[in-house]
A and B are shown apart, each in its own frame.
Chain A
Amino acid sequence: MRLMKHIFILFPIAAALLFFASCSENKKGYVIGLEETLTLMTSSIDRIEAEKVAEIIYKNDSQFRFIDLRNPTEYIKNHVPGAVNVPGNAVLSDEYIDILNQDEFINILYCETAMKANEAWIMLKQKGYSNNKVFYGGFDFIENHILNKYSPKSGNYNDEKPAFNFKEIMNAGGSGGAQEQSAPAAAPMVASKKKKSVEGGC
């Protein structure tokens, strides 16, 4: 009789173990199955459009963070302001898991080509990393069509936006730290300096 009671308890436990073992996917490292992966591939749910990328950059939207997947040598030359460099080859390494699987920011991945960015994105998705979106335009696109459009290089459309760092230029162009001491004695000189700067302003 005691044995029978034990079996009644043990059998459901065994059945539960059976169920658990048959749906355990953790060994493989994939969090989603093949069908779900394919659905993700064919949907555009995590793709960010260029207009949105431009908006995020211009507004300095702190909800988003750019992830530059290119080599460090390329990243150093230029990158989206505030972008974090994660070389594409190492996206699955433990070194970057805190950057690529978190819920503080929404990451936007970009690389030189759409293919490389997409590759990184779909592998991260399959491992269940969250909050990663992908932009298909390469960095060249971002640089030419977004970054360079509203920099001082391309022109200043806003009258009241300072086009120069006035203080820095004046300090560099004048006599540096000695300027303040010599200013009162050289009042006539300051006046002539002013004339020059007015001319320069136009």
Chain B
Amino acid sequence: MNKSYLALFAFAVIVTTILILMPEKNNGKIELTPERIKAELNESSRFFTCDQVADRIIQGDPSFRLIDVRSEEEYNKYALPGAINIPLDSMLSENWIMYLDPVGASNIFYSNGTVKSDEAWILCRRQGFKNNYVMYGGLNEWFTCIINPVAPSLISSNAEFDLYRFRKAASFYFMGGSTTETSAPAAMPAVGSKKKKEVQGGC
């Protein structure tokens, strides 16, 4: 009887020691510290602009996936082409883990604005997931910039006019459907390469 208690006690001590020494444990998954996440939030490197997202959709870039983090109801009313719906409310469910931590691909979260998709990013980043990004401005910005772009004033730079032309063509692409696919993307490549540098400017 002595021996079994001794063995049990020794086991408890060993397991306790291991648990105390093990770093950052939460159900076996690693979490990034709040300070690390705040530093990444400050960098703002997680953002894609609407122009960049539009370009990737038009180019048919297979390396990224759009994730709509709004409710199912809002997603069914309207969603960006090819987007899948992972409502923020259910983002911790086991079903979605493989989507939210993809290997060799990226996710771009979007919502109506930026708050919700940003929260989704924070939730995922805390779990150590990489390759998630946020479409800045969300659908509100999308509709202002891409669907109904505003023509720049006559004194604007060539760069602004190029951006406007891209947006006009993108608008045509997204509104027109399959019949316009052949005509719209022809203008994309030339503008696309320039656009990656300029697109930092907003709408």
Contact = CB atoms under 8 A, between A and B. Distances in A.
A-B interaction: yes
A99 interface: no
Nearest to A3: B2
Interface string A64-100: 0000000000000000000000001101100000000
A30 B13 CA distance: 26
A123 B16 contact: no
Interface stretch (A11-19, A178-186, A187-195): A11-19
A41 to B, nearest CB: 5
B39 to A, nearest CB: 8
A113 interface: yes
A33 interface: yes
A169 interface: no
Interface in B81-131: 88-89, 91-92, 113-115, 118-119, 122-123, 126-127
A198 interface: no
B119 A123 contact: no
Contacts of B118: 115, 118-119
Given A30-B31, A118-B115, 15 more contacts: A11-B5, A11-B8, A14-B16, A15-B12, A18-B16, A22-B19, A27-B23, A30-B126, A34-B26, A34-B123, A41-B88, A119-B122, A122-B119, A123-B38, A123-B41
Interface of A: 3-4, 7-8, 10-11, 14-15, 17-18, 21-22, 24-25, 27-30, 33-35, 37-38, 41-42, 88-89, 91-92, 113-115, 118-119, 122-123, 126-127, 136
